[in-house]
A and B are shown apart, each in its own frame.
Chain A
Amino acid sequence: MPVDTSATGKTYPPHEYEVGREKIREYALAVGEDNPVYFEREAARAAGFRDVAAPPMFAVVYSSGAVTPVFFDPDVGIDFTLLVHGGQEFVWGEAVCSGDTIATAVEIKDITEKGGMGFYVFESVSRNQDGAEVVRGTWTNIVRGA
């Protein structure tokens, strides 16, 4: 079945996520981070952060509420059983700290077919409560046998 590329360029409204200190702790422990700036307010402030800092890859946590619905969007039409996460890029800006509210908007940048596989590229842009960009994510998903 040919890949339906008609959703290319579709945008999704921003999804808000409020960053909490205990969620940062849970995430940092799961990925084995031990820098005190992720756990202790005093250490974070001494290092120049407003509050407990989020590890850069915490971007996954505050972006997921914006990115996940795209996978389920019938306009995009991804078959989950054939889906593989092919690649991921993050470009970081302003640091994210506990207490921040991060709004993430997603756009479908590209849908193409190559060698019988569908390539779906989503871009997410996350901004903090001051409007500063904190991360830009490029999510490349491959649907086998499309």
Chain B
Amino acid sequence: MSMEAGDSIPELKVTPDRYLPHRYAGASGDFNPIHIDKEFATEAGLPSNILHGLYSMALVARANMAAAGGDPRSLKRLSVQFRGMGAPEQEITVTGEVKSAEGGRVVVDTVAKQSGKAIIKNAEAELEL
């Protein structure tokens, strides 16, 4: 496995289905109604119920681990900023570019977008190869 500065990591595309926020709520324990109750979310001024930010962050983690060969121990650090709001039933695309690669430590700049808009930006992953 070799990663050089300027390399792109393999793109990850995921379309969370309508009930994904409910499954993620159960798995994570975060039952905030803005994620699982469309009526509540629209009354709060949102276009629909929205994805959990930490779910989208988990997709960013997945894309980076996959780029490093899939071993969970390869992911040493992940820092993200949440921007905009993710929605179910729309494709999420995670892309990344290697910023630096020195001594087996690789830093990847990653972004997650939905309909062309960033839902996670300034994501920086540190991988150990």
Contact = CB atoms under 8 A, between A and B. Distances in A.
A26 B26 contact: yes
B78 A89 contact: yes
Counting chain A CB atoms within 10 Å of each CB, the highest count among B26, B59, B72, B76 belongs to B72
A86 B83 CA distance: 8
Interface string B53-76: 111011101100100001111011
Nearest to A95: B73
Contacts of B30: 64
Contact of B61 (A57, A64, A91): A57
Contacts of B73: 95
B77 A92 contact: yes
A59 B120 CA distance: 18
B82 A86 contact: yes
B115 interface: no
Contacts of A85: 53-54, 82
Interface residues of A, number: 31
A75 B77 CA distance: 31
Contacts of B42: none
B79 interface: yes
A35 B79 contact: no
Interface string B18-32: 001001101111100
B81 A29 contact: no
Interface string A84-100: 11111111100100000
B72 A87 contact: no
A2 B28 CA distance: 33
B28 A56 contact: no
A47 interface: yes
Contacts of B54: 57, 60, 85, 88
A60 B82 contact: no
A60 B28 contact: yes
B80 A89 contact: yes
Given A27-B28, A55-B61, A56-B72, 7 more contacts: A30-B55, A85-B82, A88-B53, A88-B80, A89-B79, A91-B76, A95-B73
| A-B CB proximity, top 3 nearest | A89-B79, A30-B27, A31-B58
Interface of B: 14, 20, 23-24, 26-30, 53-55, 57-59, 61-62, 65, 70-73, 75-82
Interface of A: 23, 26-27, 29-33, 35, 37-38, 47, 53-57, 60-61, 64, 84-92, 95, 138
